[in-house]
Amino acid sequence: MTTLALMVLVLLVLIAVGIVGANSRSRPLKEKPKARMPLTKYEQPMYFRLRETFPDEVVLAQVAFSALLKSKSRSTRNAFSQKVADFVVCTRAFEVLAIIELDDSSHADNKEADAARDELLKGAGYRVLRYSRTPDAATLKTAIDEAKAAVSCA
């Protein structure tokens, strides 16, 4: 009789956990999400400059770090799970040549956070380029040509 009572208790607990879990997934939103532009007005000129300067490369914008980095460790994944790179320039084979960050005035107080982000990416072997404004095509070409040379030597 004790075994039957224990089995019924376990079953009731499992049902209760299932109900609570289902309710937590189906909660109504606190607010309706609003559309936003994928690139800010500050980022748009950089995107077009990259596209014009590198017509034979793949230019990606707003790339989640989770698309660039992986880790078996949950704590390491948590360090990059909510981060996004402004731009990623790749070969047509999707080898990353460089990750480009465009720092507007909001980055003035975030130098340490930016350095930590850069270290995550550099630690995985990526070249990170930071600019405070959209550079001219020649500056970008020099930086990406250096990156291409590094990739072809690797």
Domain-located, residue 102: yes
34 domain-assigned: no
Mean pLDDT of 118-146: 93
Q: What is the pLDDT of residue 125?
A: 93
Tracing tokens 């291409």 back to the chain, one arrives at 148
Segment 37-44 long-range contacts (CB within 8 Å, at least 24 positions apart): 38/62, 40/104, 42/102, 42/104, 43/86, 43/87, 43/102
92 within some domain: yes
Residue 137 has a pLDDT of: 96
Looking at per-residue confidence, does 81 or 145 come out higher? 145
pLDDT at 25: 61
At residue 82 the predicted structure's pLDDT band, cuts being 50, 70 and 90, is: confident
65 in Cβ contact with 83 (< 8 Å): yes
Band (pLDDT 50/70/90 cuts) for residue 58 is very high
Q: What is the mean pLDDT of residues 20-30?
A: 69
- Residues facing residue 61 across a β-bridge: 87
Alpha carbon of 85 to those of 7, 10, 117: distances in Å? 51, 47, 9
In a domain, 38, yes or no: no
Please state the domain count of the chain.
1
Spatial distance between the Cα atoms of 151 and 97, rounded to a whole number of angstroms: 7
| Cβ atoms of 127 and 98 closer than 8 Å | yes
| 49 belongs to a structural domain | yes
Report how far apart the first and last C-alpha atoms of the chain are (Å, whole number).
70
18 domain-assigned:
no
Residue 75 forms part of a structural domain: yes
Domain with 125, as residue range(s), is: 44-153
- Is residue 39, in this structure, part of any structural domain at all? no
